[in-house]
Structure 1
Amino acid sequence: MPEGNKKMQIWGKVVGVLFGFMFGRVAGAILGLVVGHIFDVTYSKDFSQKGGFSRLFTTSNEIQQQAVFFHSLFSALGHVAKSDGKVTQEDIQIASALMDEMNLSGDVRLEAQQAFRDGKQRDFAIIEMLQQFKEQCHARRDVLQIYLEILIQASCATKKLSAAQYTVLEKVAKALGFRRVELDFLIMTFEAEQRFRRGRSQANNQRGQQGQHRQGRQQSTQRSYSAIAELDDAYKILGIKQSDDAKLVKKAYRRQMSLHHPDKMASKGLPAQALELSKQKAQDIQAAYELVRKHKHF
């Protein structure tokens, strides 16, 4: 590489750190370094061979949005993991699984891993980081909610939240403009989605074994209870009560689909890697609505 290009590759980092520190102190400097690095890499590469965060975005503003989103997400996840005092191997596996689910690879994955390590630091300035993230999103509540939902999903992936983890999530929610009752609702909704998916999977397996019934009456009772629980979770996913009429059910369904539909999320600046998670949630919302609609006969 020519010497001139090597020199040019450091200016993005230098300028990013300086401006980031001016506006956001330590957290700003960290984000500035990430964005500056991405700019340097992007500048030095031919646009037909884009790498890192620039693979999905073609303008400097979009590159910055991508960088800030992933740094904010995985650094917050690292902070949640560290809240219990020690980051376990399970915590690392959860973060890696989320990266897999979001199809992160190459430079993008390395940057996400570094963000997770940044968040583990005792003096990590999480509030300042979240404030910058909120500003970068122009305080768009829909994008901020998707971010919070992804963070909740990873935090609750394999176990019940500890008191320390909940405290960090509450801090994150408050910094993004969400009240505690709204955080509790999102956690409850995620737990309902998990049960809903497992229940439907088990029901499909049971239907495949209908020719091998034993103790038929007992199995019928178990399925009946399962159906009741499934319907209850469907109402929770839609955010409605069983007493709500068809008009309110349809309104809730449209509101949830408007927020989580992948096409709409893509148009609002959500990184492409995060769209798969929105797609899964949209499928849950659709299935929940169909179940409620069938139960209410409309």
Structure 2
Amino acid sequence: MSIWTRITEALAALTKGEGLSAVFDRLRSPPERSVGFTIAVIALGAKMAKADGQVTRDEVTAFREVFQIAREDEAGAARVFNLARQDVAGFEEYAGRIKRMFDGETGTLCDLMEGLFHIAMADGTYHPQEEAFLRRVAEIFGLDEGDFRRLRSRFVPDAKPDPYSVLGVSRDTPLPQIRKAWQQMVRDSHPDKMIARGVPPEAIRLAENRMVAINRAWEEINEEAAGADRHL
């Protein structure tokens, strides 16, 4: 059974008058977590699209890139998107219910934020409204400033990504500890680990971009350290 069939079933379980946000209270057990993750990214993405005032073709394409949506499944994804846009519940209520759905698991919530950053940057512009939206979602999720900066640095091209921020370390962190941080991020980005956290197989493409970013950051830091050693 495809995830889109399972999403259709989850939406069908909504009673008359219930908004889309109600599904987040029912998808907490492991088999349904991937359904919850998918609905969460699309629903918050729809709320974010309202934040910057427009839905572009690029944003629609970004949803397809995150979830590898087949043509025959586009109607199901569009239904989730439209339900979220029409729901009177605000994005803060969505974010609070999503946090409870994943029981505050930081890894899964960071995975989810990564999908939202990907969608926010789909049109090549990072709007101030999107910045405010994502910061508030991260705050509700319980993510700290370091988590937010690390995610932002990989997606928002307002400056050259700081490799230390990408790996969540400071410049005065000893190289062996930086290596351990990089290795942990590599392990956490393995598809099997992501699926265990609730990321659906259809969204594992998120890990590909993450791996490129964290490996590049480690290479830059390692080269910088090697260069410093040569000048001693």
How far has the Cα of 1:13 moved from its partner? 6.2
Q: Does 1:296 align with 2:222?
A: no
Partner of 2:82: 117
Task: Decide whether the 8 Å contact of 2:154 with 2:166 is kept in 1.
Answer: yes
SS at match of 2:204: helix
Task: Decide whether the 8 Å contact of 1:27 with 1:126 is kept in 2.
Answer: no
SS at match of 1:240: coil
Q: Does 1:265 align with 2:194?
A: yes
In structure 2, C-alpha distance between the alignment counterparts of 1:258 and 1:179, rounded to whole Å:
21
| Residue of structure 2 aligned with 1:94, choices 59, 83, 86 | 59
Partner of 1:140: 105
Partner of 1:65: 33
Q: Normalising to structure 2: TM-score of the pair?
A: 0.76
- Matches for 1:36-51 after TM superposition, within 5 Å: none
Counterpart AA for 1:72? A
In structure 2, C-alpha distance between the alignment counterparts of 1:27 and 1:103, rounded to whole Å:
22
In structure 1, C-alpha distance between the alignment counterparts of 2:180 and 2:10, rounded to whole Å:
47
Partner of 1:281: 210
In structure 2, C-alpha distance between the alignment counterparts of 1:12 and 1:186, rounded to whole Å:
30
Partner of 2:178: 249
Partner of 2:3: none
Instruction: For structure 1, list consecutive stretches of 5 or more residues without a partner in the other structure.
Output: 1-9, 36-59, 196-228
Task: Decide whether the 8 Å contact of 2:58 with 2:123 is kept in 1.
Answer: no
After superposition, the CA RMSD in angstroms is 3.4
Partner of 1:17: 14
In structure 1, C-alpha distance between the alignment counterparts of 2:216 and 2:163, rounded to whole Å:
8
In structure 2, C-alpha distance between the alignment counterparts of 1:185 and 1:236, rounded to whole Å:
5
Q: Does 1:74 align with 2:42?
A: yes
Partner of 1:26: 19
Instruction: For structure 2, list consecutive stretches of 5 or more residues without a partner in the other structure.
Output: 1-7
Counterpart AA for 2:19? V
CA 1:251–1:239: 2 relative to 1, 3 Å: same
In structure 1, C-alpha distance between the alignment counterparts of 2:141 and 2:225, rounded to whole Å:
37
In structure 2, C-alpha distance between the alignment counterparts of 1:11 and 1:153, rounded to whole Å:
27
SS at match of 2:99: helix
CA 1:95–1:180: 2 relative to 1, 3 Å: farther
SS at match of 2:134: helix
Larger radius of gyration: 1
Task: Decide whether the 8 Å contact of 2:109 with 2:141 is kept in 1.
Answer: yes
How far has the Cα of 1:176 moved from its partner? 1.3
Cα deviations by residue, 1:235-288 (Å, 9 ceiling, x for unpaired)? 332233444321222122123223323232123221111111112212321232
Partner of 1:188: 153
- Matches for 1:164-179 after TM superposition, within 5 Å: 164-179=129-144
Q: Normalising to structure 1: TM-score of the pair?
A: 0.61
Q: Does 1:129 align with 2:94?
A: yes
Q: Which fold has the larger relative contact order, with Cα–Cα distance below 8 Å and residues 6 or more apart in sequence?
A: 2
Q: Which has the higher helix share?
A: 1
